[in-house]
Chain A
Amino acid sequence: MTKAPTRSTQPDLLYSEAEDDLRAAVRSLLTDRADTAALLTRAEAGTPYDAGLWKALAADMGAAGLLVPEKLGGQGASHREAAVVLEELGRQVTPAPYLTSSVIATEVLLALDTETPEVADLLAALASGRTVAVLAVPLSASPYGPLAAGESRVPGVADAAAADVFLVLRSDGLYAVEAGEVGVEAQTPLDLTRPLAAVTVPGTAAATRLADSDAAEAAVRRGLLAGAGLLASEQLGVAEWCLEETVRHTRERHQFNRPIGSFQALKHRMAQLWLEVVSARAAVRNAADALATDSPEAALAVAIAQAYTSRVAVHAAEECVQLHAGIGMTWEHPAHLHLKRAKSDSIALGTAGSHKEALAELVDIEAP
């Protein structure tokens, strides 16, 4: 008889004071710089990124280097802090290559031999926020599935348009390829705030080898796992915004001579959503803490957070549109941006189903 693994030490599920300060700083930056109208104008013009905002966040505030140790040019913080940044980016659905460059690509590089100058230099450049690197895999790639190596055209790569460097998995290892060597063909994404492109890396492209194939595959999986774990924080941010805005709207909107938020049928739905959001918060803090402490349970914590939070974010966004009613269906109201982000996130880095499948194995709940 096998027993499910149990954790020997308790995860820290709270936010530290430093994390609260970081949240306040990021929120105030995003509130000032990332309003919906401007975001929509940029997205429609096909230039969704705001370079000034990225510089302020990634370089001036140092958010890009949170995961990177100080001796490698970063801030020497951890996944706990990066998770807080992602919660805020999720709240505002800000188009910024934070998850792709500062989390996934950074985590891939950190899993390699950081003594190698090519790896160390690239890491330092990412940590400074000067360079943006993107792992050339589809946004839907899960940490558990087969990794396609050496494919010439990779569709659905997130933030490719913002990338200076691509990390490319080939059958004989992992390579860094400058953006100039690569074909980037924009696709029309469901989520306007996270642009996608098909990336083609010609066989002749100049490339710097970073690792051999075994090290490369392990590093890419680690990058995708950390990405999935912190994506849950972004999803929490999306859900939180949706709930807050829905509560605000239903308190103010009057119909039948009453604020609609006083109707029990609506109150119960928002209370239910609140319960899901506070539960998701515990799950995503657990995942961030497990990644930060390199816990043996990190994979389990990520799978739990993803399996739960994807559904909560989509539910919150769908309720947000419904309870805003007509206005929730309009292009001008940001509800649709959150719905598109939530739905797209539910496919990104492994569906809830794929995370549950992984979990079944981890806790010995075997399939028939």
Chain B
Amino acid sequence: MTDAAELRTRAEELLAAHPPATTDRTTFLKARFDAGLAWVHYPKGLGGLDAPRSLQAVVDAVLNAADAPDNDPRRIGIGLGMAAPTILAYGSEEVKERFLRPLWVGDEVWCQLFSEPGAGSDLAALGTRAVRDGDDWVVSGQKVWTSSAHVARWAILIARTDPDLPKHRGITYFICDMTDPGVEVRPLRQITGEAEFNEVFLSGVRIPDAHRLGEVGEGWKVAQTTLMNERVSIGGSRIPREGGMIGPVTQTWRERPELRTHDLHQRLLTLWVEAEVARLAGERLRQQLVAGQPGPEGSGMKLAFARLNQEISGLEVELRGEEGLLYDDWTMRRPELVDFTGRDAGYRYLRSKGNSIEGGTSEVLLNIVAERVLGLPSEPRNDKDIAWKDLAR
């Protein structure tokens, strides 16, 4: 069993063999992966040491203190958070060997080809087809809302392999090569003027059967692994008071007395309290996880933050009065990273509208809370036993 002391020693050995000051970033990250210190809970040889997940913090602390380069988890978030756990759970040995190291090091960026124009919240309704042809599958269809597609080397993809089955069955999960000539990525310009997402058109894309994850027709089950890992992300890091969207507006209030009105004061105080309470609830969730008593609260926190971000950023635009009529820049850009607070109040206001849509709409999350946490009866379903091809679309 690997313990904290051993991990600390291994991290120190890594630093001694590859001093961060004189080692190139990628070289250091590869060495870290090979030393099993990338994600310690992964298997030996795949960047880990089969250690408890909670001990990652020990390694991170030693490496941070030495100013070692990190792998920028934000830039490669989809790969780390969604593709990697799915590959680990369902990939063949060859697939794990091939993909995990460049993924973790950041040499290869991943994106996720799940959502479709006709299948957003009702993800299982997807219509992209994959047809077997010898050792390959031939995939055609259209995906949408794909972050990072313009910089991604690989994608996780779900496609329909049997339209005669009901919608949750007959789906298969693949790894798609984004450099295949049948893949076309088009920027999807959005409300903020940026093109943070893309539309992805798949025309006769050939995927080798070796890049299938899980059994044919079991894609929905495999996708659950991916989606569960998507929602786990909260609770890892501590946010300081005024650390979120409430920070800039409170600071503006303090610095610009001429903008103050009684109405805005009341609203700011109410939102300040709500933001602080949401932060405390996040902290409580984190403490529960550390104490080994994970509660169902995680599913609700995204709801709280989505609503708060929208209300707070809306208040901020109003607080700025005349300036609130202006916008910083409408130039279309295709950012590799989305910074929710990095631009002006107007941008924050518009971008936050997506918080209650992306990663599960608030309406769907409220249903999940109601059914899985409160145990309320589910909505009647009339599509369960109907072949996908016979569903009304």
Contacts and interface: CB of A to CB of B under 8 A. Distances in A.
A264 to B, nearest CB: 6
A194 B209 CA distance: 71
B277 A308 contact: yes
* Overall SS of chain B's interface: helix
Interface in B285-308: 287-288, 291, 293, 295, 297, 300, 303-304
Contact of B268 (A2, A14, A262, A365): A365
B165 interface: no
Interface stretch (A117-125, A151-159, A278-286): A278-286
B262 A356 contact: no
B63 to A, nearest CB: 23
B31 interface: no
For A10, A11, A13, A359, which residue has the most chain B Cβ atoms within 10 angstroms?
A13
Nearest to B288: A14
Contact of B262 (A7, A247, A367): A367
B273 A13 contact: no
Interface stretch (B67-75, B141-149, B343-351, B374-382): B374-382
B383 interface: no
Interface string B274-290: 10111011011001100
Contacts of A268: 363, 366-367, 370
A368 B260 CA distance: 5
Contacts, number: 138
Contacts of A247: 374-376
A148 B238 CA distance: 44
Interface stretch (A22-30, A136-144, A269-277, A335-343): A269-277
Contact of A356 (B269, B287, B369, B377): B269
A366 B258 CA distance: 12
A274 B241 contact: no
B254 interface: yes
A271 B366 contact: yes
Contacts of A251: 375-377
Which of A247, A271, A283, A368 gathers most chain B CB within 10 Å? A271
A327 interface: no
B122 to A, nearest CB: 14
Contacts of A366: 253-254, 257, 260
A270 B377 CA distance: 12
B276 A1 contact: no
A146 B253 CA distance: 29
B79 to A, nearest CB: 31
A363 interface: yes
B278 A279 contact: yes
B269 A304 contact: no
Interface string A136-177: 000000000000000000000000000000000000000000
Contact of A267 (B269, B277, B371): B371
A130 interface: no
B287 A270 contact: no
Interface in A250-274: 250-251, 258-259, 261-262, 264, 267-268, 270-272, 274
B255 A272 contact: no
B254 A304 contact: no
A14 B287 contact: yes
A274 B304 CA distance: 11
Counting from the closest, the 9 A-B pairs by CB-CB distance are A267-B370, A368-B260, A262-B377, A271-B369, A282-B280, A13-B284, A282-B281, A282-B284, A271-B366
Interface of B: 238, 240-242, 250, 253-255, 257, 260-262, 265-266, 268-270, 272-274, 276-278, 280-281, 283-284, 287-288, 291, 293, 295, 297, 300, 303-304, 363, 366-367, 369-371, 373-380
30 contacts: A4-B241, A12-B287, A13-B284, A14-B288, A247-B375, A247-B376, A262-B378, A267-B366, A267-B370, A268-B370, A270-B370, A271-B369, A278-B295, A282-B277, A282-B280, A282-B281, A283-B281, A285-B284, A304-B276, A304-B277, A304-B280, A356-B270, A359-B272, A364-B254, A365-B253, A365-B272, A366-B253, A366-B254, A367-B265, A368-B260
